[in-house]
Chains A and B, each alone.
Chain A
């Protein structure tokens, strides 16, 4: 088990390095350079040259990459060409802001999805199941920005004016100092993620509840509650953990759109700005972060899958 995790982590480092190389090359291939992007319409040759020198853009490409990679080992994520300061200073608050969004959304979406899926499965083909299935299908079919926009119209600007539509934090204040501002972005993410978990949980539970060992337990006269908790759920958790992991990993990337829509000061907003300004170091840091979340969450899902499956558990233990 430990060996498996270690091997996976080692491979992950390799994957992250390849990601960093790809992102670096891709950002370089985009036409336009940071100096021109910052100066915009006022990019006279003299000003571009002065700024390029200031930003070390006149150094060869490979040297810029190696400088960046070398800095990585000392915990230095490089220098942002836009702020001309360290990337860590630019991203520090934003990472925690995005994490809050992710964690709150995940903590709400996962139990709700699991619960709804189980409940739906127990009442299979009854009215409640039909309603849950129908609604989750409709919501799952909507892209996140449509859900976000609909929520703004419904809860912020037009029908009910309850929650703020954008996040505005005073300097020195954290996003969670005004929890009302978190409601709409979190709700959007929850609505995007929950339907998938619900549907997967329902399908898996249906399968498990139809299986021989559940029938056996019922025939033995085990209470339905015990059948569900002791026999059915552990079998359903493994496959569902994969879906939950995929959804959580999606959240890490999906925040980009949601943050843009709600003007949420997280990494998504920073990423859009950094791509526009060709700010390689910031793009690198954020993509690596998102990739790392992907890897870690998937690894966790595999571990849960192994722990929930006795067969795999003993194999991995050997």
Chain B
């Protein structure tokens, strides 16, 4: 707050775009007083209007195929999976009240929570859960969640209140795999034209590519929630338009504030910036089966040329935490004990020389797949120069990046939200993983991970996972330079939004917690 009237340097001015640069000059030194931060018990009522990044003509209300941010926000508020991750990244039970594994981790039994009803008042039955998973795993039209559940052989009702998940291979982390927002439970007779789930809000109107409205679900199982009468999610393609909409009070909250604009919004007394530490990461991916990265010395050299502090400062404006070429920082088995890797240009040069490269030419494929991705590529290009590595940047648009050559670029980038270690490995670092962008297939690693997957004893499993992480740290194909903070913003009269570790914006889009402390919130 003391920064509010700090003089403008040229550099800072160039850091923000034209609009908001001027906005900072004017708003930063204005005479309006800070709105009070709401306290006390939640108040019911009102409409919350949220500006959400992205979306378009392929917008959907389908519970099992969310692709863009607005899709994800809709899915989270309409539907609920059996369990999911709470704001602290701990598993919490939703439609299920418990989930237990057989000693061999091949059969998992979910007991349904009493009193959970669909939007039309019907109670959730085991048959609904079975039908839901049949819809997701449909071989003719597999949904988003199908790729992560390949070990699932059969889902069957077990008595009147429980469902059994039978697996092909033992999996001690199956609870984690079920805790995904794209696995929402829907009735057996589900039709996307009548989108019914158990979530805190019911579907209202829906204009594809524009906005969707939701009303309070009076059958919701959490007492008192949701507090809002109505929720409106509004698509925004452009960052400036989204921020301007917040500044002109046309929306009450927005997701994804560009990091360069955080100071601008902080300087506005009406606005609260919501920053969350997450496990979201934006790695560089090197294909371990293609030259020059098939030589482990080259991979280690590439990792050693990165000045991670500088990366976080320049790419994320400081909104992030150091990475150590490992992912899943919130996993209890995260290998904290491995020393933090730092920039070491001398060692990098020696490694490259030993690998037979006096200089090295590489092409880095990048695209604006996530805020900061292209900037990270540019900073890497600068940093690598010091070690005689010449990085050519090939910038594509997002659709081309995810086109036919996705997962076969030699040296590229990707981004991932928070996951624990085993689910992340299953998604991205096993030979059979659907998104194995580094083509990683280290036999020792695969063996450790496979054993860990069937080990029910937590201590023994942690030990195996730490060994697996050590292998990735010593010879993996990922450069994990940092974990990105999630930065969102809302008007001060919006209460109940808290930092969320999952990497999903605005309290994980869980608007059941949100309430309005003033009546203005509901005014259109």
Residues of A at the B interface (CB closer than 8 Å) are 30-33, 36-44, 46-47, 50, 54, 80, 82-83, 90, 146, 149, 152-153, 156-159, 161, 164-166, 168-172, 260-263, 265, 269-270, 272-274, 276-279, 282
Docked Cα-Cα span, A298 to B437, in Å, equals: 52
A277 with B399, Cβ < 8 A, contacts A36-B406, A165-B250 known: yes
Q: Which of B39-86 contact A (CB under 8 A)?
A: 49, 56-58, 67-68
In this complex, the member of A159, A164, A165, A277 whose beta carbon has the largest number of chain B beta carbons within 10 angstroms is A165
Cβ contact within 8 Å between A156 and B244: yes
Cβ contact within 8 Å between B210 and A169: yes
Docked Cα-Cα span, A149 to B240, in Å, equals: 9
Collect the chain A residues with CB atoms within 8 Å of residue B211's CB: 168, 170-171
Of all chain A residues, the one with the shortest Cβ separation from B204 is A171
Of all chain B residues, the one with the shortest Cβ separation from A156 is B248
Collect the chain A residues with CB atoms within 8 Å of residue B403's CB: 31-33, 36-37
Q: Which of B124-159 contact A (CB under 8 A)?
A: 139-144, 146-147
Docked Cα-Cα span, A274 to B57, in Å, equals: 8
Cβ contact within 8 Å between A90 and B406: no
Task: Identify which of B5-13, B19-27, B306-314, B439-447 touches chain A.
Answer: B19-27
Say yes or no: is B234 at the interface (Cβ < 8 Å to chain A).
Answer: yes
Cβ contact within 8 Å between B238 and A261: yes
Q: Which of B409-442 contact A (CB under 8 A)?
A: 414, 434-435
The 9 closest A-B pairs by CB, nearest first: A32-B403, A82-B57, A171-B205, A165-B244, A157-B247, A273-B56, A82-B58, A32-B399, A31-B400
Say yes or no: is B358 at the interface (Cβ < 8 Å to chain A).
Answer: no
Of all chain A residues, the one with the shortest Cβ separation from B396 is A31
Cβ contact within 8 Å between A168 and B234: yes
Of all chain B residues, the one with the shortest Cβ separation from A80 is B57
Cβ contact within 8 Å between B402 and A171: no
Cβ contact within 8 Å between B57 and A83: yes
Cβ contact within 8 Å between B22 and A158: yes
Cβ contact within 8 Å between B248 and A32: no
Collect the chain B residues with CB atoms within 8 Å of residue A274's CB: 57
Given A260-B238, A273-B209, 14 extra CB contacts under 8 A? A32-B404, A36-B399, A40-B67, A42-B67, A43-B406, A159-B26, A165-B244, A171-B210, A261-B240, A263-B236, A263-B238, A263-B241, A269-B209, A277-B56
Cβ contact within 8 Å between A166 and B245: yes
Of all chain B residues, the one with the shortest Cβ separation from A181 is B250
Separation in Å of the A167 CB from the closest CB of chain B? 9
Q: Which of B156-212 contact A (CB under 8 A)?
A: 205-211
Cβ contact within 8 Å between B206 and A171: yes
8 Å CB contact of B56 from A42, A82, A164, A169: A82
A164 with B68, Cβ < 8 A, contacts A32-B403, A37-B399 known: no
8 Å CB contact of B402 from A41, A90, A158, A272: A41
8 Å CB contact of B140 from A42, A50, A261: A50
Separation in Å of the A39 CB from the closest CB of chain B? 6
Say yes or no: is B36 at the interface (Cβ < 8 Å to chain A).
Answer: no
Separation in Å of the B175 CB from the closest CB of chain A? 22
Cβ contact within 8 Å between B22 and A165: no
Collect the chain A residues with CB atoms within 8 Å of residue B382's CB: none
Cβ contact within 8 Å between B18 and A149: yes
Collect the chain B residues with CB atoms within 8 Å of residue A265's CB: 209-210
A149 with B404, Cβ < 8 A, contacts A159-B26, A166-B245, A274-B57 known: no
Docked Cα-Cα span, A242 to B67, in Å, equals: 47
Separation in Å of the B59 CB from the closest CB of chain A? 8
Cβ contact within 8 Å between A164 and B248: yes
Collect the chain B residues with CB atoms within 8 Å of residue A153's CB: 19, 22-23, 26
Cβ contact within 8 Å between B144 and A42: yes
A273 with B400, Cβ < 8 A, contacts A43-B406, A166-B250 known: no
25 contacts between A and B (CB under 8 A): A30-B399, A31-B400, A32-B403, A36-B404, A37-B402, A38-B67, A41-B369, A41-B435, A43-B402, A44-B142, A46-B139, A46-B146, A82-B57, A149-B18, A149-B19, A157-B244, A158-B23, A158-B26, A166-B245, A171-B206, A260-B241, A265-B209, A273-B56, A276-B397, A277-B58
Cβ contact within 8 Å between A44 and B147: yes
Cβ contact within 8 Å between B68 and A40: yes
Say yes or no: is B398 at the interface (Cβ < 8 Å to chain A).
Answer: yes
8 Å CB contact of B241 from A165, A170, A276: A165
Q: Which of B224-256 contact A (CB under 8 A)?
A: 234, 236-238, 240-241, 244-245, 247-251
Cβ contact within 8 Å between B205 and A172: yes
Separation in Å of the B20 CB from the closest CB of chain A? 8
Separation in Å of the B382 CB from the closest CB of chain A? 27
Collect the chain A residues with CB atoms within 8 Å of residue B67's CB: 38-40, 42
Of all chain A residues, the one with the shortest Cβ separation from B370 is A41
Collect the chain A residues with CB atoms within 8 Å of residue B324's CB: none
Say yes or no: is B486 at the interface (Cβ < 8 Å to chain A).
Answer: no
8 Å CB contact of A276 from B234, B247, B250, B399: B399
Say yes or no: is B213 at the interface (Cβ < 8 Å to chain A).
Answer: yes
Of all chain B residues, the one with the shortest Cβ separation from A46 is B142
Of all chain B residues, the one with the shortest Cβ separation from A264 is B241
Collect the chain B residues with CB atoms within 8 Å of residue A269's CB: 209, 237
Docked Cα-Cα span, A278 to B208, in Å, equals: 17
Docked Cα-Cα span, A82 to B71, in Å, equals: 14
A273 with B57, Cβ < 8 A, contacts A32-B404, A261-B238, A261-B240 known: yes
Collect the chain B residues with CB atoms within 8 Å of residue A149's CB: 18-19, 240
Of all chain A residues, the one with the shortest Cβ separation from B241 is A263
Of all chain A residues, the one with the shortest Cβ separation from B416 is A41
Cβ contact within 8 Å between A276 and B244: no
Separation in Å of the B70 CB from the closest CB of chain A? 12
Cβ contact within 8 Å between A166 and B57: no
Separation in Å of the B395 CB from the closest CB of chain A? 13
Docked Cα-Cα span, A149 to B16, in Å, equals: 13
Separation in Å of the A278 CB from the closest CB of chain B? 6
A30 with B400, Cβ < 8 A, contacts A38-B58, A158-B22 known: yes
Separation in Å of the A185 CB from the closest CB of chain B? 11
Cβ contact within 8 Å between B56 and A32: no
A152 with B244, Cβ < 8 A, contacts A157-B23, A260-B237 known: yes
Docked Cα-Cα span, A7 to B68, in Å, equals: 48
Collect the chain B residues with CB atoms within 8 Å of residue A43's CB: 402, 406
Docked Cα-Cα span, A164 to B246, in Å, equals: 10
Docked Cα-Cα span, A80 to B240, in Å, equals: 28
Cβ contact within 8 Å between B237 and A272: yes
Docked Cα-Cα span, A272 to B237, in Å, equals: 9
Cβ contact within 8 Å between B250 and A50: no
Docked Cα-Cα span, A36 to B139, in Å, equals: 18
Of all chain A residues, the one with the shortest Cβ separation from B212 is A171
Docked Cα-Cα span, A90 to B210, in Å, equals: 11
User: Would you give the 0/1 interface string for B326-340, flagging 1 where the beta carbon is closer than 8 Å to chain A?
Assistant: 000000000000000
Docked Cα-Cα span, A262 to B22, in Å, equals: 18
Cβ contact within 8 Å between A152 and B236: no
Docked Cα-Cα span, A47 to B18, in Å, equals: 41
Cβ contact within 8 Å between A270 and B209: yes
A277 with B238, Cβ < 8 A, contacts A32-B399, A165-B245 known: no
A83 with B208, Cβ < 8 A, contacts A30-B400, A270-B57, A277-B56 known: yes
Separation in Å of the A61 CB from the closest CB of chain B? 16
Docked Cα-Cα span, A164 to B244, in Å, equals: 9
Of all chain B residues, the one with the shortest Cβ separation from A40 is B67
Collect the chain A residues with CB atoms within 8 Å of residue B244's CB: 152, 156-157, 165-166
In this complex, the member of A30, A152, A156, A263 whose beta carbon has the largest number of chain B beta carbons within 10 angstroms is A263
Collect the chain A residues with CB atoms within 8 Å of residue B22's CB: 153, 158
Cβ contact within 8 Å between A168 and B250: yes
